[in-house]
Structure 1
Amino acid sequence: MPSEHSEEDVRTSFKIGSLILATSLFAACSPETASMSAQQPIVQPTPPTYSRVAEQKAGWITEDGGNSQLDFNPQVDILFVTDNSDSMKTAQANLVRNMDKFSDGIVRNKMIDYHIGVVSTWDSSERFITTKKDQYGIGELRFIKDGKNQSFNKRFVTRTEKDLMASTLDIGVAPFAEGGPENEEFFSPLLAALDKSGNGQVNDGFFRPDAQLVVIFLTDADDGSASITPDEVDRRLLDFKGGRKDKYSVYGVLVNAKDSDQYKDYGLRILPKYHSECFDMKKKTPVRITNKSEPGCQTGFGPTRLEQLIASANRSADLTNDDQIKNKYIMSIISRNFGTDLANIGADIKVRTMAKEIFLTRGVPVVENGVIQLRVRYGTPEELAAGKGQIIPQGKGGWLYNPDQNSVRLSGDVNYQYKDGARFAVDLKAAILN
């Protein structure tokens, strides 16, 4: 029986079905319609919000209240470490004769609170310890005394005893035959003086935490302290002053290697007993030779260890060359200009003592048109509170700003109009928040 549908009809039906299926698949892969989008909305992220930064403005503020660093009470503790061997008679007399020149700038300055004391050289030999005549132990400050050698129950000079300064520093000499030192030590009595400064000890009250510490060696010899190096002494001084390199300095009134042997202690003279390297010791009578490995045999010997300490102690960012340091901090003990040179040391000590640094705590000063907006005033609390007082100039002989520390450094040679109880106020225009 013939089929109801022809082959042509079957093919036509197949094509129509395929077309419907393709259309359905295309619709399934096409983008969402408007109705579909409305049913599944896309959630947009909410932008973050921040609090508004306050506008910065510059305003003048003053560092002047309740801050002890603005007080001005310059202090200096000056310790002489003096050679009292027999060869020092002339040098000590020179010191006493010129003491007024040394102390003039310090004593006449009403602002400086000074302590001045003296310890003598030491000799660790058994001979010295058992035969020395004086009562003083190593590093002990000598009692102050008057011109008649009358001692008082106090171990250092202050403004109250300024008339006893020269006589106190005139400690006299101790000949070797009478128990005087032979191998002069300076480092050991200096360190002992620091060690004996505690509560109730013999040097109690002399050294003060905030004072400038000045050490002055007076000798025609070199240091003979066993097992103490110059660097060790420098480290001890640094520790003693709380790690503040700017709070201590070391000076020397010394001989020079090139000076004639007649001016030197025996230990620095070219003699077989002290410098056998300069002699042919195989001879019955030692004969001096040219020892090229030891320059001192030709040029003479000097206080090398003391010089090393002075160079190390006074080295700073502004002064790094050892020769320049020694030229500044050492004067000749046989100088024809002894008084003038001693006065220069006194003047330098005054400048170091009067220098001051004030750290700013309330802001960083702004710069306008190339000019730092900062002012330093000096006066009584009443004057400063009223916005008055002596205006300290910026620059040499005044103040400089140190941006690394945010501090004001006052030079030691400011010409202050001294007033009792005066202090500082620092005005600055700083960036502050509303």
Structure 2
Amino acid sequence: MVRTYLGVSSLLFGLAGPLLATGCGGGGRDETDPMGMTVGNTAGQTSGPATSGTESADESTEGDGGPKLDVMFDTDGMMTGGDIDQSGCDKVDFLFVIDNSGSMGDEQDNLIASFPQFIDTIQNTLDEAQDYHIMVLDVDAWQYQMCENMCTAAPPECINAMGLCDLTAGPACLFPCTLGLVCGLDGGFECGVTMPMECEDVLGAGVTYPRGQGSSNQDCSFATGARYIDSAEPDLAGAFTCAAQVGVSSYADTERPMEAMVQAVTAATPAASCNEGFLRDDAILVVTFITDENDSTGDSAGTPAGWKQALVSAKNGDENAIVVLGLFGDNDQPGAICQDLMDSSGAEAAPRLREFVNSFGPKGFFGSVCAPSYDSFFQEAVALIDTTCDEFIPPEG
């Protein structure tokens, strides 16, 4: 990342060279003459030298006959010693939205494997932006909602003398007893024992204690004491691994990645107080979501246009402060990697998610969730993040 600072010292240097080379000029500079400066600040380029417009000086004579230089220029609109080019970011907020449904085990492993190289490249490329917030979301609220419903769904005749649901007791017992068995063995759920956790089981709240099959199944205990990791975390990759291993035990009726994202960044939602401190006005926002299903009508509330507007509103209307990265099904694209979703392999085509990413133009980037590795995807994304950081103008105050 290239950032250019220009103060009064560089201005005086630019003026002094021509003056000393030519001696005293003949006439005064007209106050209306321009004095322009051009400074390179394009990603991937080295800042060019400051160039000034016409400079001149008045020559006057003191009593001893020696020359006196009066540099005559209008300082209106020019940089002073306290003025610097304020473009460029110092902070980045990373939001990861991870599908925790039963078919996402391999994809979570790929994401976790790619993270250390990704964050290392970010640290080496965004040399001025070393202040990170990193938060992980899953795509449901109370992941055991169906399991909890099962606790009261079984008719009394299904409960045997030991208090267990007996699926052989009759046709009405088959579904609730089978689900109860799955919830217990697969996700570690117990009727009357496993309860929702404050903030942990709120849609859009940062994940700090993944539970169920395939999850880290532990309290990640971030050093921040909050629902996000920051750049001071002693083991950044380890903390991310703990949170991002959200597991595959979601028993929610629908997966809602975009709604989780919207809830996370929108004020006055149930998730807002849980995530306090994550979003910063003077940081760029990088959203990465990974899912093997299309967020269809009937899943997340809203539309691709509405999801975009939620992010833009969260950044006070500055669309250029946002990067959106998506890993989802590419079945309907040329050269697709994904096969149709079957059991735990393949993916659904995701036209709505692609529409959302494409709505950000050059700030949106997507890849195939079925790729065997996400390393190249994230390495390409770094250049986009770097450019966005270079071009970012933090709000005043």
Instruction: Give me the TM-score of the superposition, normalised by structure 1.
Output: 0.52
Matches of 2:243 and 2:142 in 1, distance apart?
Answer: 23
Amino acid at match of 2:326: G
> How many equivalent residue pairs?
262
Q: 135, 138, 162: which is aligned to 2:203?
A: 138
1:111 has 2:128 as partner: yes
Question: Contact 1:209–1:241 (CA<8 Å) still a contact in 2?
Answer: yes
Q: 224, 227, 232: which is aligned to 1:160?
A: 232
CA deviation after TM superposition for structure 1 residue 180, in Å: 2.5
Question: Contact 1:222–1:305 (CA<8 Å) still a contact in 2?
Answer: yes
Matches of 1:126 and 1:166 in 2, distance apart?
Answer: 23
CA deviation after TM superposition for structure 1 residue 215, in Å: 1.1
Question: Contact 1:156–1:206 (CA<8 Å) still a contact in 2?
Answer: yes
* TM-superposition CA deviations, 1:183-204 (whole Å, max 9, x none): 2111211111113589981111
Q: Secondary structure at the match of 2:274?
A: coil
**Aligned position for 2:62:** none
Q: Secondary structure at the match of 1:308?
A: helix
CA deviation after TM superposition for structure 1 residue 340, in Å: 1.7
Q: 358, 363, 370: which is aligned to 1:334?
A: 370
Q: 114, 122, 129: which is aligned to 2:140?
A: 122
Question: Contact 1:82–1:121 (CA<8 Å) still a contact in 2?
Answer: yes
**Aligned position for 1:352:** 388
Could you tell which deviates more after superposition, 217-226 or 113-122? 217-226
Gaps of 5+ in 1: 1-53, 270-299, 320-324, 360-434
Matches of 2:203 and 2:348 in 1, distance apart?
Answer: 27
Largest Rg, 1 or 2 = 1
CA deviation after TM superposition for structure 1 residue 212, in Å: 0.8
1:228 has 2:299 as partner: no
CA deviation after TM superposition for structure 1 residue 67, in Å: 4.7
Question: Where does 1:75-224 land on structure 2 (aligned, <5 Å)?
Answer: 75-108=91-124, 109-112=126-129, 113-122=131-140, 127-128=145-146, 130=148, 135=197, 136-143=201-208, 149-152=218-221, 153-161=225-233, 162-175=236-249, 179-195=250-266, 201-224=273-296
Question: Contact 1:251–1:310 (CA<8 Å) still a contact in 2?
Answer: yes
Identity %: 21
Matches of 1:347 and 1:129 in 2, distance apart?
Answer: 44
CA deviation after TM superposition for structure 1 residue 174, in Å: 3.2
**Aligned position for 2:349:** 302
CA deviation after TM superposition for structure 1 residue 74, in Å: 2.0
CA deviation after TM superposition for structure 1 residue 107, in Å: 2.7
Matches of 1:63 and 1:118 in 2, distance apart?
Answer: 42
**Aligned position for 1:248:** 322
Q: 58, 68, 73: which is aligned to 2:34?
A: 58
1:70 has 2:70 as partner: no
Amino acid at match of 2:232: T
Structure with greater proportional strand content = 1
Q: Secondary structure at the match of 2:323?
A: strand
What RMSD, in angstroms, separates the aligned Cα atoms of the two structures?
Answer: 3.8
Instruction: Give me the TM-score of the superposition, normalised by structure 2.
Output: 0.56
Q: Secondary structure at the match of 2:104?
A: helix
